[in-house]
Chain A
Amino acid sequence: MSQSTMTLPRPRPHGLRFPSLTRERVFAVVSPVALLVIWEILSRTGVLDPRIFSRPSAVVQLMATMLVSGQLATDTGVTLARLFVGSIVGTIPGLLIGLTIGLFRTPRAVINPLVSATYGLPRVALFPLVLLIVGLNETSNIIMIALGPFFTMLIATAAAVGNVEPIYLKVARSFKVNTRDLYLKVVLPAALPIIFSAFRVSLGLALLGVVAVEFLMTNNGLGYLIWHSWQILSLGQSMVGLVTTGVIAYLLFILLDQAERRALPWVERT
């Protein structure tokens, strides 16, 4: 961009830049590390009972053993697969139905009462019903995981589409855009930031769903590892499952942040 006498917009970052050490970035590392160090000290000095709160160093050791044995990788793989499939199975229909009822009055009139009737139910309460209909198998697992993302995407998308700034619609109408362009070039992009936020929430709910399903229904995956190990009082292993799940969640949301920045470069961020 060449200079002009007008105020220039902030240059867009390109390539890798060395991040400056802001307070937020420093404590993003320092806070959790400090917590782990305190934890380690407390259990070594006997303030915390190591039989209940396994030491961080012991958890890391156990994690290494489980990695070598392949057990942890297997459980992680199973959990990730369920998370992935469950998210897609919930998100995509939720998004499509949400768009439809956000845009068109008749589908909205038909579907809204059904959504209101079922959305209020705690989703775990639907598990027996799903099992009854589908049977106890991987399909029912996926459906139960997908329920959270499905409802979240449906409701948020419909609201996002229905609440697009009126001035955008007015501009579009004044230029007499056809219906297809109105939806694809105006309504959808205008709603996209909220849809993306809904996707973020959906992913969190899918992770919750995976762990819940693995607690209750399966004999593999990280949720099973956490719950089963706890039941046989193998607290270290339970802790390894918990830490691995935490790491997955953390990486997932970093990835999502990056994806959002790429997908919505025009959104103002603080």
Chain B
Amino acid sequence: MNIIVCVKRVPETAEADLVIDKTGRDVIKSGLVFDLNEWDSYAIEEAIRLKEKKEGHVTVISMGGEEANESLRKCLAMGADDAVRLTDPAFEGADGYATAKVLAESIGKLPFDLILTGTQAEDDGYGQVGGALAELLGIPHATVVNQIEVEGKKLKVHRELEGGLEEILEIDLPALLTIQTGINEPRYVSIMGIRKVAKKEIKVLGAKDLTLVANETGLSGSDTRIEKISFPPTTGAVKMIEGNPEEVALNVLNILKNKGGLA
């Protein structure tokens, strides 16, 4: 089975102190730690597991500058066979739709039975690229998938719904699935593992290689644009408790007592 996995390198922002840049449309990226998008790490792991079970070939694709090689190499170290990086100044500023168009152009030239993406990206959270890509390629799709079984030329998949419910679907190959976190346990990649694939070729493709017109990609090919960004308004309702751990602990236990938490 030929499996293509689309991945993205994203900044880790959960504990970072974010600063809005001069354009007012993004945050300052220098100083942030980047890694493979969490959803994508589950997608690449799932692809490698399917390959290990049934044999096959895993190609990992990412749109981005040279720094995206870092994420592609991580995927290679995990067990992907090939890596492709899509890069061009014309791709910059792409929203979910414009990203899907570039991916579709590049994937359309490759043999594939299954395409996996993460359900969404940690940074912009569109949750859009997978579905749009499937539509552009004219193949069926399922999103938020947390279980896959291969049954010949079709798959039986579980989609995670709300409130602990799942739905079971049957889907014909070739197909695209967007993968939910928790579907597996992504394998650990050591520095040695990354070093082993350091010399592996990463194929680089630009707009010319993909026969895309400039106004189809990047910001000008996007449906939407970010006008400005801001910090969410603070509600101001929260009372902050300060002091050393003992003082904080006493305070918290008093709140528990007052609010009926402790008898």
User: Is this pair of chains taken from one and the same complex?
Assistant: no
Chain A residues packing against B (C-beta within 8 Å): none
